């Protein structure tokens, strides 16, 4: 007969894979994701008023999903996506990209910017 194993036999097979993945993640320089958007860039984002045309088109903030109202002030990212300031600013304090299309804004991290420039030139 076969000896009884404690637990599931799959735990032994996949346990080693989990260790390998953990080790790779510990050595990944980007494991925490991209740094936040540069403070100056966030402060300089264009602020525009929502128009009746946009309201008629059922324009909504992609973060909170609330419909925009006429004369709401929204922040426009360079990718042309618009957000309520209270929705996008906290996001950009943690991420440097548009939450919809992942367009990257500059950061205050020179190492990250160097790696980004090197990867885009290859």
Summary count for the chain: helices (H), strands (E):
5, 3
- Is 83 part of a structural domain of the chain? yes
Q: How far apart are CA 115 and CA 82, in angstroms?
A: 28
pLDDT at 20: 64
Residue 103 belongs to domain spanning: 39-120
**Is the distance from CB of 121 to CB of 63 less than 8 angstroms?**
no
Mean pLDDT by 10 residues, the chain (122 residues): 53 61 58 86 96 89 94 96 96 96 95 89 70
pLDDT at 57: 87
Residue 7 is given by DSSP the state S
What's the domain count of the chain? 1
Q: Tell me the whole-structure pTM to 2 decimals.
A: 0.69
**Is the distance from CB of 37 to CB of 112 less than 8 angstroms?**
no
Residue 73 is given by DSSP the state E
- Is 18 part of a structural domain of the chain? no
- Is 9 part of a structural domain of the chain? no
- Closest to 93 in 3D by CA, of 101, 105, 110, 78: 105
């Amino acid at each position: 007969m076969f000896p009884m194993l404690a637990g599931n036999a799959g735990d032994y097979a996949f346990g080693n894979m989990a260790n390998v993945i953990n080790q790779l993640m510990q050595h990944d320089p980007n494991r925490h994701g991209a740094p936040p958007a540069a403070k100056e860039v966030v402060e300089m984002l264009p602020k525009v008023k929502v128009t009746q045309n946009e309201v008629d088109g059922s324009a909504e903030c992609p973060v909170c999903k609330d419909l925009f109202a006429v004369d709401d002030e929204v922040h426009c990212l360079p990718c042309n996506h618009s957000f309520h300031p209270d929705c996008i600013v906290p996001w950009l304090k943690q991420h440097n990209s548009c939450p919809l299309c992942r367009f990257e804004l500059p950061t205050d991290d020179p190492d990250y910017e160097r790696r980004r420039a090197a990867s885009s030139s290859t």
